[in-house]
Amino acid sequence: MKKYMLLFLLLASVGVFASSEQARKFVVTQFRAIVEPLFAEGEATQPKFDAFYAAMVAELPPQQRAERALELTINRFVGAADYVLENAQSWRGKIEANSRLETLTTVALNAPLIEIRMAGFELYLAQYDLEKSVEQVDYLLQQYKRRPEKNAAGSLWAMAAIAARGIDRERVFDVIIAATENNNAKIRRGAVEALARFGGEEIIEPLLYLARHDSSAYIQERAFCGLAQTGTLQVVERYAALPGLMAVLRDPYSTDQQQGWVYQALKEISNFYDVDEDPDQWEQRLLEVDMLVLE
């Protein structure tokens, strides 16, 4: 508040001292000294989800507890994601998917840090009362088979979220891969989103195939996004996609749109934003830092 009051006084002073060049320069110098720090990039703190916050959250009713814990996770309180991972299943049947929790979950699922995305998965499962079990996968699979086109998005996504937590991965993977080959684009849309959430290096080749060959531009784009920055792939796992992405750049049959998606994926995986859109330059840069391994 003191800074803003001083800023006001300095602005008023410009008019008073306008006839004095020396005074004007003094006012401008002081003005910059106050204003520039207000617009400078700040350094983020690393707050801890310590005993104080744990006690505060524990006192809340389950719905507010889940929302507050996920909010602190999104705000990068160290330890908050672990708290959600450890407690989310105990909130099943006690919380509901209201607008606030759904919004927080969506933000978490699209966060840049994988631990925040995994906390989002846990809250997604909890708010829809989905158990991390083989029996739950059985139910979701039957739901999907009953009406594939209608239930693909929800059922496949939920199965993938459970599998991402280490439950029944082999069976869920087979179901999702079969769905990526379905003639119905609506089912394939559900499958590509589920595949990105499934995680693990085994999803890289299927995503690359969809990115290069699917007839839907939307599905191609979502496959590139799955390789670049969404889903549950660790950064080092994304490096395994680099040879395939470079192959798309070298492919004379790839479209301009696909090339554009590849360059964006390369930037997001490598964090190199100063390389021109040229395959040779990208290959050289990635080789220099040992991100790219050519066969």
Separation between Cα atoms, residue 122 and residue 70, nearest integer Å:
10
Separation between Cα atoms, residue 176 and residue 195, nearest integer Å:
7
Q: What is the dihedral of CA 222, 227, 233, 239, to 10 degrees?
A: 180
pLDDT value, residue 234: 86
Q: Scanning the structure block, which residue is given the tokens 């996504």?
A: 157
pLDDT value, residue 12: 46
DSSP state, residue 48: B
| Alpha-helical runs (H) found in the chain | 2-16, 21-39, 51-58, 62-74, 80-87, 99-109, 114-127, 134-146, 148-151, 157-164, 169-180, 185-198, 204-213, 217-228, 235-238, 242-250, 256-270, 279-288
Burial of 271 (0-12, 13-18, 19+ CB in 10 A): exposed
Tell me how far CA of residue 265 lies from CA of 92, 142, 197, 204, 213, in angstroms: 36, 35, 17, 13, 17
pLDDT value, residue 128: 94
Helix axes 185-198, 204-213, angle to 10 degrees: 150
pLDDT value, residue 187: 97
The count of other CB atoms within 10 Å of the CB of residue 233 is 25
Residue 92 has which token pair?
A: 């099943």
Tell me which residue of 88, 75, 112 sits closest to 233, measured CA to CA.
Answer: 112
Tell me which residue of 128, 121, 126, 120 sits closest to 73, measured CA to CA.
Answer: 120
pLDDT value, residue 46: 76
pLDDT value, residue 56: 94
Tell me which residue of 163, 170, 149 sits closest to 196, measured CA to CA.
Answer: 163
Divide the 295 residues of the chain into consecutive groups of 10 and give the mean pLDDT of each group.
Answer: 44 45 55 50 76 94 97 95 96 95 94 91 94 97 96 95 94 98 97 94 96 97 93 89 96 96 96 96 96 83
pLDDT value, residue 41: 60
Q: What are phi and psi of 48, to 5 degrees?
A: -105, 140
Q: Which residues contact 99 (CB under 8 A, 6 or more apart)?
A: none
Separation between Cα atoms, residue 79 and residue 119, nearest integer Å:
11
Separation between Cα atoms, residue 207 and residue 67, nearest integer Å:
33
Tell me how far CA of residue 217 lies from CA of 177, 186, 212, 238, in angstroms: 19, 13, 10, 22
Separation between Cα atoms, residue 65 and residue 225, nearest integer Å:
32
Over residues 67-92, the pLDDT tens digits come to 999 999 999 999 999 999 999 999 99
